[in-house]
Amino acid sequence: MAGKEGPRPGGRSARVQASVHKAVRSLLSKMDRAEVTVPLIAAEAGVTPSTIYRRWGDLQELLADVAVERLRPDMEPIDTGSAQQDLQTWAEQYSEEMSSGPGREMIRDVLAAQGGTGAYQCCGYTMQQIKMIAARAASRGESFPEVDAVMDRVVSPIMYRILFGNAPSVDRVRDLVNGVMEITPPRHASARKSA
């Protein structure tokens, strides 16, 4: 739980966190995850192991914390000029990133932690991205489905397939996006796609 509230930026606590996170990322880039230990991280970060245990509880919680940070989107969804295309471009990128080797490892780290706070944060990041696409659609006067509908019908099936089967193809992702966009028919088209 500690360290999850977000330390005061620039404070000692924030510097410790930044340094430990950096050490984890550096070690993960150099060695297999199974070999990474708290003492190794502590040595790399220049802190004592007990600092890490006190703050994160155990290795799994720390790895989850780092994974959540890496899963935070570093850009706004690309503006393609239309809501349908915005969502499709975003969904393809999301599917590609999450199904990549590093993506899968990060999801696994986030889900392996006991608390579930990290997983909740990840879901929040994704919703924020969808909300940005929705807001842009609104500003253009385009209709757009509820954020919950996009989470259920686009994000959930992509993530389920990545976790429990094979990553969805680009065509599959397009079908999912088309499906949810039909909930709110485009303003300037009355014809429905044939089922």
Q: Is 186 in the site for a second copy (CB under 8 A)?
A: no
List the one residue out of 149, 118, 156 whose CA is nearest residue 134: 149
Least distance in Å: CB of 70 to a second copy?
A: 16
Q: Are 105 and 33 in contact (CB under 8 A)?
A: yes
CA 140 to chain centre: 27
Stretch that binds a second copy, among 11-19, 42-50, 89-97, 108-116 (CB under 8 A): 108-116
Q: What are phi and psi of 25, to 5 degrees?
A: -60, -40
CB closer to a second copy out of 45 and 122: 122
Least distance in Å: CB of 115 to a second copy?
A: 12
Least distance in Å: CB of 110 to a second copy?
A: 9
Q: Are 91 and 145 in contact (CB under 8 A)?
A: no
Q: Are 45 and 22 in contact (CB under 8 A)?
A: yes
Residues 119-178 that bind a second copy (CB under 8 A): 119-120, 122-123, 151-153, 155-157, 159-161, 163-165, 176
Least distance in Å: CB of 178 to a second copy?
A: 12
